[in-house]
Amino acid sequence: MSTTSTDRAASGPRPTARRRRKGIVAILVAIVLVAAGMVAWNWWTHPKAFGGLGDGYEPDPRPLADSALSTTVVFPKIKGSPETVTIRGLDATFSENTAKAGATFWICHMTEGGAPILAVFDPESTCADIEKVTTPMRFEHGVRPDSDYLFVTITPTRAGVARLSSIDVDYRRPEHFHQRGTQTIQVGAEVNAR
């Protein structure tokens, strides 16, 4: 009997212990791969090409016919490299909209040396050319001062208040492994039409 136990000890751990160790290693490897996949999926579907804040503005009440307000949604980059993104969809969220306002999106091709739009009642005074966004559409997200701006015009249809709180920008970044998804940009623009 002692011969059998010595043979077993000399041959190493039992096959059951080896299988258990391999199973634990396989489970740990699977957990690491799933976690890495989740991080990669989150990065790929939640792009952050744009800053998280658009412009905010609350003008005095204006007559309905003169109350349409244009405000910047996406500013140019301050530093870094320019990139082209494909805008696939835009959605405006109003926290209050008794003015039954609509939101129309535009791309401003800046005049050379021009100041940014911020919030204006007449975007033509700032932009060399204005192009209505039709999705899908290419957007040149460049570095200041040579960049386009994405802006929204809030147009009330009756007297009241329209508070634009955020814009969801659904886009794709061809230069970043075709990263795509939706980014919410906070905006604090208010129109008060009388």
Q: Which two tokens stand for residue 14?
A: 């039992």
pLDDT at 40: 67
- Total number of domains constituting the chain: 2
SS (H, E, C) 123-183: HHHCEEEEEECCCCEEEEECECCECEEEEEEEECCCCEEEEEEEEEEEEEECCCCCEEEEE
pLDDT at 4: 53
Domain residues for the domain of 32 are 2-45
Question: Which stretches of the chain score pLDDT less than 70?
Answer: 1-14, 38-56, 111-117, 145-146, 176-177
- 67 and 123 share one domain: yes
Q: What are the pLDDT digits (tens) for 156-182? A: 999 999 999 999 999 988 876 678 888
- 71 and 124 share one domain: yes
pLDDT at 149: 85
* CATH code at position 171: 2.60.120
pLDDT at 90: 96
pLDDT at 68: 92
- 72 and 142 share one domain: yes
CB 153 within 8 A of CB 187: no
Q: Which two tokens stand for residue 72?
A: 């910047």
